[in-house]
Amino acid sequence: MAVIIDEQRRIFTLHTQNSTYQMKADAQNVLLHTYYGEKTDNSDKSLLYYQTDRGFSGNPYEMGRIDRTYSMDSLLQEYSSFGTGDYRITSLKVENKDGSQAAELRYAGYRLHQGKYFIPGMPAVYAENGEAQTLMIRLADPYSGLKVELYYGILEETDIITRAVKITNQGTEDIVLKKAASMNLDWEYGEFEWISFYGRHGMELNFQRERIHHGIQAVGSVRGTSSHQYNPFAILCEKGADEKMGSCYGFSFVYSGEFLMEAEKDQIDRTRLICGIHPDNFSWTLHGGDTFWTPEVMMTHSGSGLGKVSRNFHKVIREHICRGGWKEKQRPVLINNWEATYFDFTGEKLVAIAKEAKKQGVELFVMDDGWYGKREDDSTGLGDWFPNEKKLGCTLKELAERITAEGMQFGIWLEPEGISEDSDLYRCHPDWAVAVPGRKPCLSRGELILDFSREDVQDYIIKRIAELLGGIPVTYVKWDCNRAICDKFSRMLDGSRQGEFSHRYVLGLYRVLEELTEKFPEILFEGCGGGGGRFDAGLLYYMPQIWGSDTTDAIERLSIQYGASFGYPVSVMGTHVSTVPNHQTGRVTPLATRGCMAMAGTFGYELDIGKLTQEEKTEIREQINLFKKHYNLIQHGDYYRISSPYEGTCTVWEIADPSGREVLISAVYHHVQANPVPVRVKVQGLKDEAGYQLFLNEDFNEKYPGKRLPFGFRPGEVISGAALRQFGFVVPEAVNGFQAWQIYMKECPYPCE
Ligand code: DGJ
């Protein structure tokens, strides 16, 4: 049983395979948080709380006269509220009819059921009844009609606990939500560090680790999307925790809009973490009877380091967030024409790229931006989702059929949320673009954004895109969004409700995505936000992969994909091999290195293969074969970070089959030195007692049967899993700049006959 309830003492203990979470309704009906960490028993952890005089913090009225140790400002709470004695960051802030901001949340009951709750109109973890339990705890403000239901989804096997909050106004007077976070987590003690991921367009998901200090630390987005700048994923870990050791907590926000993740270390060294919709652009009016659902947060705890946090998220995203046929199905190796042509192409040119790619084993051709309306650069045409037949030299259907006749699948790029001022759609519906009436809106990449909070706009886009896709043999759609949102205003909302715009936009986007993905279940949708501007677990509910970054440079991708690996599996990371010198950095890297990097993702190409030498074409063919051979291992295996791109000379990662039968290790030299210090890798995920053969870069063993491998032994020699784990092996030295090695290990009979 995942959830144990002590009715008499009102203690709720949630167990997953390796963690325990506990809360308790105390004598004052405050729902206390009592424990989250390594798996333990059901005993009441609040007995171990330290309490002392908190008269200067303030005490609730009934307690102030009798027990000054009891203060909302120091209690560990499940869901804190602003304005009634808790001066820390809080999860809920309301405005009552009289203008006051007080809310006191008191325990009012619970409900437990099999299966996982779902959230209307929003993405959330899903699970079979046998895989999850839902606990709902009800809190209510005794002075108003405010009712707050805290939802917990417990996925025992996966070590994941989800949280979301349903807020209802049961009274008759309006209540305005000013802040409604999805979760609050309090720790009584501990020295913590927090890991977050920051960036910019083309350079997303940089890793940063800081000490939690007194005061407030926060990352978030007020950009309408989850953003290039901060990712809605963070880890809080005990000081010094590393990949294999230490207590670590991970938090992933299942949402594609504005968010805030904030942490505060308070006056008595207690730490609080809150995650939810960013309150800066938010307010939501609840009339009597109205309900508001917050988005969901996924949490996990690992007692054995950061690596396990990541593997837990990889599993839950692969199995309980991604949906549809493409969740399991092998995804095609694709070629995208963006970096090959940008806007400068014709139908003939595209067919030529597709044909050449097909010869090397590519399976899907993707036509990127520039095929519609009057789109010759990025300042025009967005919104006119009608093919430019003059440019293509034929109808879209004919083009798609020419490509499919070559034995290639056909995919198409769209940016349905964008609208150019120079477009027929804008000329017809200028009011559909987001802008504050009477003010000039901000342009971004030359474009405006459609007001997706409006139902008529959503309906139009669903209809137009459905008609477009319905008429052609298409199996892939890249859904791009190339700007952040400002000038937030919707003509469909009253002045008093403009604070609802950003969240309503995201709800509108989710409705459009739900309907289109349901209508076209055979299409593989790939998300994109000018690269990684919308790289979040919310989008993955609709699209099982997201283009990781507009930077395709293999060395820059090391840090982007390293950052992503903390919260997201390889199977969702859009990665392509592009040409050299790289278009974003001018750097020249070996084709093998670019291939190795792209294989740590969905894998594809973004260049004109026709312009390559025969040798390069052969290498591409070999890369595709190698990727397909190891497809299951790469996409479904357990991921281990061995060394980081921010240190040393070589970034190493490993993907191990959960059975321990095979492992693929990738090593990329991000820095080349003379007389280098050896890079030693201690292999994880192998079976100690089994024997393994090592293969270098696919063909080394076959090409040089008698030659010593750079690891020391000869092809065919076998070494034990224990030795590889305890002693490890040394990655071969780099023989050229930015060299990559792929080392495959396979179990074989041992000891050798
Ligand atoms: C941004 C994307 O990330 C690129 O891959 C490309 O699709 C361009 N948009 C097209 O405008």
Give residue-wise pLDDT tens across range 418-448: 999 999 999 999 999 999 999 999 999 999 9
> Is there a contact between 710 and 733 (Cβ–Cβ < 8 Å)?
yes
| Cβ neighbours of residue 739 closer than 8 Å, sequence gap 6 or more | 590, 592, 593, 668, 669, 672
CB-ligand 1 contact for 419 (6 Å cutoff): no
Whole-number Å distance, alpha carbon 530 to ligand 1 midpoint, is 5
Nearest Cα to Cα of residue 479 among 546, 388, 408 = 546
Q: Which contacts qualify for 109-118: CB closer than 8 Å, 24 or more apart?
A: 109/137, 109/138, 110/5, 110/12, 110/135, 110/136, 110/137, 110/138, 111/135, 111/136, 111/138, 112/3, 112/5, 112/136, 116/153, 116/155, 116/162, 117/151, 117/153, 117/164
Closest to 415 in 3D by CA, of 534, 305, 557: 534
What are the φ/ψ torsions at residue 458 (nearest 5 degrees)? -55, -45
Contacts of 657 (CB under 8 A, 6+ apart): 633, 637, 638, 663, 685
Could you tell me if 530 and 413 are in contact, meaning their C-beta atoms sit under 8 angstroms apart? no
**Does ligand 1 come within 6 angstroms of the Cβ of 569?**
no
- 728: tokens are 């490890």
Same domain, 586 and 438: yes
**Could you give the 3-state DSSP secondary structure of residue 325?**
helix
Does a structural domain hold residue 325? no
Report the DSSP beta bridge partners of residue 140. 106, 147
- Look up the CATH number of the domain holding residue 726: 2.60.40.1180
47-98 pLDDT, tens digit each: 998 889 999 999 999 999 999 999 999 999 999 999 999 999 999 999 999 9
DSSP H/E element including 356: helix 347-360
Q: Is the CB of 368 under 6 A from ligand 1?
A: yes
Question: Which pLDDT band, with edges at 50, 70 and 90, does 717 fall under?
Answer: confident
pLDDT over 80 (residue 702): no
CA-closest residue to ligand 1 atom 11: 369
Please indicate, yes or no, whether residues 533 and 652 belong to a single structural domain of this protein: no
Of 90, 111, 118, nearest to 181 by C-alpha is 90
574 lines ligand 1 (CB under 6 A): no
Pair (229, 360) in one structural domain: no
Listed in sequence order, the residues at least 6 apart from 47 whose beta carbon sits closer than 8 Å to its beta carbon are none
Average pLDDT for 350-368: 98
Q: Provide the residue range defining the domain that includes 96.
A: 3-320
CA of 190 relative to ligand 1 center, distance in Å: 44
Beta pairing, strands 133-140 & 106-114:
antiparallel
CA angle (103 as vertex; 501, 89 as ends), nearest 5: 70
Query: What is residue 131's DSSP assignment?
Result: G
| Alpha carbons 665 and 222: distance in angstroms, whole number | 39
Q: What is the mean pLDDT of residues 320-339?
A: 97
Q: Where are the beta strands (DSSP E) in 258-373?
A: 259-265, 271-277, 284-286, 291-293, 296-302, 334-336, 364-367
Span 206-227, mean pLDDT? 98
Domain-located, residue 730: yes
| CA distance readout (Å), 43 to 3, 98, 258 | 13, 43, 38
Residue 327 lies in a domain: no
As for how many domains the chain has, the answer is 3
- Write the pLDDT tens digit of every residue in 477-496: 999 999 999 999 999 999 99
Looking at 274, 289, 320, which one is the last position of a domain?
320
Do 303 and 264 share a structural domain?
yes
Which numbered atom of ligand 1 lies nearest the CA of 413?
7
- 211 and 259 in contact (C-beta within 8 Å)? no
Based on its alpha-carbon atoms, the radius of gyration of the chain, rounded to whole angstroms, reads 27
At 239-268, the pLDDT tens digits run 999 999 999 999 999 999 999 999 999 999
Q: How far apart are CA 258 and CA 255, in angstroms?
A: 8
Residue nearest to atom 2 of ligand 1 (CA): 530
pLDDT in tens, 554-589: 999 999 999 999 999 999 999 999 999 999 999 999
- The 3-state DSSP class for residue 460 equals helix
Calculate helix-pair angle for 455-470, 501-519, nearest 10 degrees: 20
Report whether residue 482 contacts ligand 1, using a CB cutoff of 6 Å: yes
Tens of pLDDT, residue by residue over 667-698, are 999 998 888 899 999 999 999 999 999 998 86
Do both 211 and 261 map to the same domain? yes
**What's 344's domain CATH number?**
3.20.20.70
- In terms of domains, do 58 and 9 share one? yes
117 lines ligand 1 (CB under 6 A): no
Q: Name the percent of the chain lying above pLDDT 70.
A: 99
**Nearest ligand 1 atom to alpha carbon 378:** 11
Residues 90, 229, single domain; the answer is yes
**Do residues 348 and 305 share a domain?**
no
Question: Within 447-590, where are the H helices?
Answer: 455-470, 501-519, 537-540, 554-565
Domain boundary among 582, 600, 633: 633
How far are the Cα atoms of 39, 53, 80, 272 from residue 73, in angstroms, in the given order? Answer: 28, 12, 10, 11
550 lines ligand 1 (CB under 6 A): yes
395, 499: one domain: yes
DSSP letter for 47, please: G
Decide: residue 48, CB within 10 A, 0-12 exposed, 13-18 middle, 19+ buried: exposed
Q: What is the pLDDT of residue 753?
A: 47
Tell me what pLDDT residue 752 has. Answer: 53
Among 749, 728, 732, 750, CA closest to 741: 732
Q: Is the CB of 413 under 6 A from ligand 1?
A: yes
Q: Quick check: is 531 in a domain?
A: yes
Two tokens, residue 530 = 């000018």
* 698 labelled catalytic: no
Q: Is residue 326 part of a domain?
A: no
pTM score, two decimals? 0.97
Q: Are residues 691 and 625 in the same domain?
A: no
Query: Does residue 689 share a domain with residue 610?
Result: no
- 589, 610, 633 — which closes off a domain? 633
Q: Tell me: cis bond preceding 658? Omega within 30 of 0 counts.
A: no
Asked if residue 563 belongs to a domain, the reply is yes
The CA distance from 484 to 224, in Å, is: 6
Residue 351 resides in a domain: yes
How many other β-carbons are positioned within 10 Å of the β-carbon of residue 238?
Answer: 17
Within-domain flag for 538: yes
Return the CATH number at 204: 2.70.98.60
**Which residue among the candidates 290, 389, 424, 616 is catalytic per the annotation?**
616
* Mean pLDDT score of the chain: 96
Instruction: Convert the pLDDT of each residue in 193-211 to its tens digit.
Output: 999 999 999 999 999 999 9
- Annotated catalytic residue within 536, 550, 608, 619: 536
The answer to whether the beta carbons of residues 251 and 234 sit under 8 Å apart is yes
Enter the tokens of residue 367.
């036509």
Concerning whether 38 is annotated as a catalytic residue, the answer is: no
Please state, in angstroms and rounded to a whole number, the distance separating the CA atoms of residues 400 and 351. Answer: 9
644 and 602 together in one domain: no
The H or E element that residue 703 is part of is helix 700-703
Distance 626 CA to ligand 1 centre (A): 28
What CA–CA distance (Å, rounded) separates 85 from 71? 7
Q: How far is the CA of 450 from the centre of ligand 1 (A)?
A: 18
- The pick from 368, 371, 583 for probing ligand 1's pocket by mutation, whose C-beta has the most ligand atoms within 8 angstroms, reads 368
Distance CA 472, CA 491 (A): 35
Cα 686–Cα 687–Cα 693 angle in degrees, nearest 5: 65
